[in-house]
Copies of this chain bind each other. A is one copy, B any other.
């Protein structure tokens, strides 16, 4: 297994981010993807583009692509020639990467609305409902969710039908009532309550973890699979999903709004339970690093030849400052 030491994450990321940004710009536009022969109205598309383009860290698309490249590199102990990840990302992995980002983007739009977190700042810009009004924000979020599934279901010449179905299966479950939306509902119901660690973990596994884990699984689904590698990647996704949220809770306390590009300190202001409020700053930080160790050990278990991008992304996720 190739380790992360000899790996230039910034160069790797730059190339993938370019593809993802280009693809998002192309797909979140007039409905070239649609077979309805109707075009999306310009006002709605403007709100959707505002929500998606120009500003996100694209962590989820990067996880999709890194997981795809890891499985594509083959098993380390296999005699079969490994597929060297080339510069060309296949259509399926790029669509999966963008679809996950659309789900993430829609969730932010709805989450920022006055009836939810009532936030006015996101990625350093006014939130969608501030810029376009609440009704447009609601519809743009709804349309982004649908667009995610449109992206995953092009003609079967572009992506095999079996893979389309599998990607829709993974994404819908991660986004829905037993995934992201379910976690947000628990979050909503828990304001002002004292959650124990098990309850807090369950909330975050659904709210943030499910989609991060699905990113890894969707990327893996686009390449050759083995049962062991898939199981190990599922554990990896689970560990980094939780680590991400623990770090988010830490940053909410330690970073300022300008660095975060969103309002800092809002969890405490909103009396929301967090890992910091539950275990204190030092223990939360130690927990994040423990989860990182778990994630790396899952990568070792995977038996995959080249997991450097996944490993480096996991490192970045825990040591990030925004």
List chain B residues, Cβ under 8 A from A80: none
Contact between chains at A44 and B136 (CB < 8 Å): no
- Docked pose: A261 CA to B18 CA in angstroms: 51
Asked whether A40 and B173 contact (CB < 8 A) given A139-B188, A165-B168, the answer is no
- Docked pose: A6 CA to B9 CA in angstroms: 71
| Interface membership of A265, Cβ < 8 A | no
List chain B residues, Cβ under 8 A from A110: 138-139, 142
- Docked pose: A116 CA to B241 CA in angstroms: 34
Q: Which residue of B lies closest to A113 (CB)?
A: B138
Q: Which residue of B lies closest to A106 (CB)?
A: B142
Q: C-beta contact mask, A183-213 vs B, less than 8 Å → 1, else 0? A: 0111011000000000000100110001000
| Interface membership of A322, Cβ < 8 A | no
List chain B residues, Cβ under 8 A from A171: 149
Asked whether A182 and B115 contact (CB < 8 A) given A142-B110, A162-B161, A175-B146, the answer is no
Asked whether A156 and B146 contact (CB < 8 A) given A35-B173, A178-B31, A210-B36, the answer is no
| Interface membership of A181, Cβ < 8 A | yes
Q: Which residue of B lies closest to A162 (CB)?
A: B161
List chain B residues, Cβ under 8 A from A106: 142
| Interface membership of A74, Cβ < 8 A | no
Shortest CB-to-CB span from A258 to chain B, Å, is 28
Contact between chains at B44 and A177 (CB < 8 Å): yes
Q: C-beta contact mask, A219-241 vs B, less than 8 Å → 1, else 0? A: 00000000000000000000000
Contact between chains at B139 and A141 (CB < 8 Å): no
List chain B residues, Cβ under 8 A from A186: 41
**Contact partner of A40 among B35, B146, B161, B182, CB < 8 A?**
B182
Shortest CB-to-CB span from A193 to chain B, Å, is 13
Contact between chains at A179 and B36 (CB < 8 Å): yes
- Docked pose: A175 CA to B172 CA in angstroms: 15
| Interface membership of A320, Cβ < 8 A | no
Contact between chains at B142 and A115 (CB < 8 Å): no
Shortest CB-to-CB span from A58 to chain B, Å, is 21
Shortest CB-to-CB span from A119 to chain B, Å, is 13
Contact between chains at A189 and B41 (CB < 8 Å): yes
* The 4 nearest A-B residue pairs measured at CB: A146-B176, A31-B178, A115-B134, A40-B177
| Chain A residues packing against B (C-beta within 8 Å) | 31, 33-36, 38-41, 43-45, 48, 106-107, 110, 113, 115-116, 133-136, 138-139, 141-143, 145-150, 152-154, 156, 161-162, 164-166, 168-169, 171-179, 181-182, 184-186, 188-189, 202, 205-206, 210
Interchain Cβ contacts under 8 Å between A and B, 21 examples = A31-B176, A35-B173, A36-B174, A36-B210, A38-B206, A40-B176, A40-B178, A41-B182, A41-B189, A110-B138, A110-B142, A115-B134, A115-B138, A138-B138, A143-B177, A150-B169, A152-B172, A153-B165, A153-B166, A164-B165, A165-B165
